């Protein structure tokens, strides 16, 4: 298996924009951004999948066998990487491969039909270096063997992977992956998907849950769902709403209700305390598999948010920032201006944000989301010379690093911050 080193590609948001995508960070929205930059670094993700929602997508996307549409946006086709083990035809047995879209955006792609041999292939993949570099697993599969899918799901959970539905293919050109617009996880794949520690998909992707019957081993499936933390609710939903069809395409709203889609990222609860008599709020939150600690206090009459990263996952590009301009979007959809500084401590990384306009409502609704951290040096280089390709590449890598770190914090007890806010604004 050949992995990340052969497929990395620096990607970013469209040139001229210095703000991250308006969508909130999730396993999918923060794992792939696209660029539209004039010159040698310009490429766009173009994809389409033909056929009914429950059928395998047309493997070549309108191109000759072994090729996919060009990533530069014209009508030509490019060769798929000869080193890729992923099948173009998803009816073939499932394969696993590490892919990399940039220095900070890495994921495992699983494409194909689940067979009795799939758990053994996944076990072999888990021994590879690629398996250790990311906990994000993308699935694209028309289904397959139910018993094998249950075992695969157990292995996914034990290994600590987050699951999503997406499809990518490594191309022959260096540092490029073709991103399909449509992806599916239906039939037996729907069970394997539930092994994810966090699980996500959108209405664009297809999650097709089988209608349970005696031939598919309902008792074993029900036991599996209990171990995955779902109970029989998912089976009951499929039984009630499939109306005789073998598969039930689960809408996002229903999936969220029965915990098929599940992600506690960003959820926090403030615990009030004091430092030298001054009020502070402490909390913990996660972003997928990453765990952070946080604190809010008034420092020099400025409301200050501390993010403690004991796993030392904050990308290296961000380590040099000192009082860098930053932006948040809060729970009231208000843009909050801030400054950001990085500090390296013995056992952890620390990012310090000063956010003067933070309020008790900032953590309500969808919560406080880091939108951007600006690199003024790169901005100046681009301003001085818009055709500086090195500056464009540096900006892309910078934005990818910000995206990899970007987080959101939601708390239902934001009113607990009142003593801190009062101390800062009424010294």
Yes or no: say if 307 and 294 are a contact pair by the CB < 8 Å rule. Answer: yes
| Phi, psi dihedral angles at 355 (to 5 degrees) | -125, 90
DSSP 11: -
Question: What distance lies between CA 289 and its chain's CA centroid?
Answer: 10
> So what's the pLDDT on residue 59?
43
* Mean pLDDT, the chain, integer: 83
> So what's the pLDDT on residue 35?
31
Yes or no: say if 138 and 167 are a contact pair by the CB < 8 Å rule. Answer: yes
> So what's the pLDDT on residue 14?
32
**What are the tens digits of pLDDT across the range 204-228?**
999 999 887 655 567 889 899 999 9
Residue 56: band (very low, low, confident or very high) from pLDDT cuts 50, 70, 90: very low
**Length of the chain measured in residues:** 427
CATH class of 4-257: alpha beta
β-pair type (368-373, 67-69): unpaired
* Distance between CA atoms of residues 178 and 47, nearest Å: 8
Considering only residues 32 and 132, tell me which one the structure prediction assigns the higher pLDDT. 132
Q: Taking Cα atoms as reference points, which of 303, 295, 305 lies closest to residue 275?
A: 295
Q: Could you give the percent of the chain with pLDDT greater than 90?
A: 58
> So what's the pLDDT on residue 86?
93
> So what's the pLDDT on residue 123?
97
- For the beta carbon of residue 160, count every other beta carbon within 10 angstroms: 11
Mean pLDDT computed over 323-334: 97
* Distance between CA atoms of residues 328 and 385, nearest Å: 29
57, pLDDT greater than 80: no
**What are the tens digits of pLDDT across the range 88-131?**
899 999 999 999 876 667 899 999 999 999 999 999 999 998 89
Tokens (6 digits) for 297 = 């206090």
Q: Where in the chain is the domain with CATH 3.90.226?
A: 4-257
Alpha helices in 71-230 (DSSP H): 118-125, 146-159, 188-193, 218-227
pTM: 0.68
* Distance between CA atoms of residues 90 and 58, nearest Å: 9
Tokens (6 digits) for 304 = 């200050």
Yes or no: say if 234 and 260 are a contact pair by the CB < 8 Å rule. Answer: yes
3-state secondary structure of 142: coil
Q: Could you give the percent of the chain with pLDDT greater than 70?
A: 81
Residue 174: band (very low, low, confident or very high) from pLDDT cuts 50, 70, 90: low
């Amino acid at each position: 298996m050949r992995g990340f080193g052969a497929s990395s590609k620096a990607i970013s948001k469209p040139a001229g924009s210095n703000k991250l995508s308006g969508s909130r960070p999730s396993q999918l929205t923060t794992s792939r951004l696209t660029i539209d930059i004039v010159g040698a670094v310009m490429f766009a993700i173009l994809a389409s999948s033909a056929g009914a929602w429950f059928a395998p997508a047309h493997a070549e996307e309108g191109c000759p066998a072994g090729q996919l549409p060009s990533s530069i946006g014209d009508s030509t086709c490019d060769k798929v990487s000869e080193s890729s083990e992923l099948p173009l035809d998803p009816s073939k047995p499932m394969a696993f491969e590490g892919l990399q879209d940039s220095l900070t955006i890495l994921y495992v792609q699983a494409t194909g039909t689940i067979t009795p041999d799939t758990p053994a292939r996944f076990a072999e993949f888990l021994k590879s270096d690629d398996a250790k570099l990311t906990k994000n697993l993308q699935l694209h599969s028309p289904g397959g063997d139910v018993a094998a899918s249950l075992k695969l799901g157990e292995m996914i959970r034990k290994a600590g992977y987050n699951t999503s539905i997406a499809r990518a293919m490594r191309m022959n050109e260096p540092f490029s992956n073709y991103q399909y617009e449509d992806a599916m996880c239906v039939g037996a794949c729907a069970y394997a998907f539930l092994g994810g520690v966090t699980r996500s998909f959108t209405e664009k992707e297809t999650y097709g849950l089988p209608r349970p019957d005696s031939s598919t081993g309902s008792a074993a499936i029900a036991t599996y769902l209990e171990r995955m933390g779902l109970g029989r609710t998912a089976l009951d939903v499929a039984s009630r709403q499939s109306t005789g069809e073998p598969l039930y395409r689960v809408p996002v709203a229903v999936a969220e209700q029965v915990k098929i889609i599940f992600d506690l990222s960003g959820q926090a609860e403030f615990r009030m305390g004091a430092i030298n008599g001054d009020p502070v709020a402490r909390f913990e939150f996660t972003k997928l598999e990453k765990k952070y600690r946080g604190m809010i206090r008034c420092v020099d009459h400025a409301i200050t948010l501390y993010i403690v990263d004991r796993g030392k996952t904050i990308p290296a590009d961000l380590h040099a920032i000192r009082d860098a301009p930053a932006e948040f979007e809060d729970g009231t959809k208000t843009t909050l201006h801030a400054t950001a500084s990085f500090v390296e401590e013995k056992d952890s990384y620390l990012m310090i944000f000063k956010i003067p306009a933070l309020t008790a409502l900032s953590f309500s609704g969808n919560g406080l989301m880091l939108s951007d951290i600006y690199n003024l040096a790169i901005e100046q280089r681009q301003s001085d010379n818009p055709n500086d390709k090195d500056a464009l590449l540096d900006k892309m890598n910078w934005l990818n690093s910000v995206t990899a770190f970007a987080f959101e914090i939601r708390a239902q007890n934001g009113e607990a911050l009142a003593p801190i806010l009062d101390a800062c604004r009424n010294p």
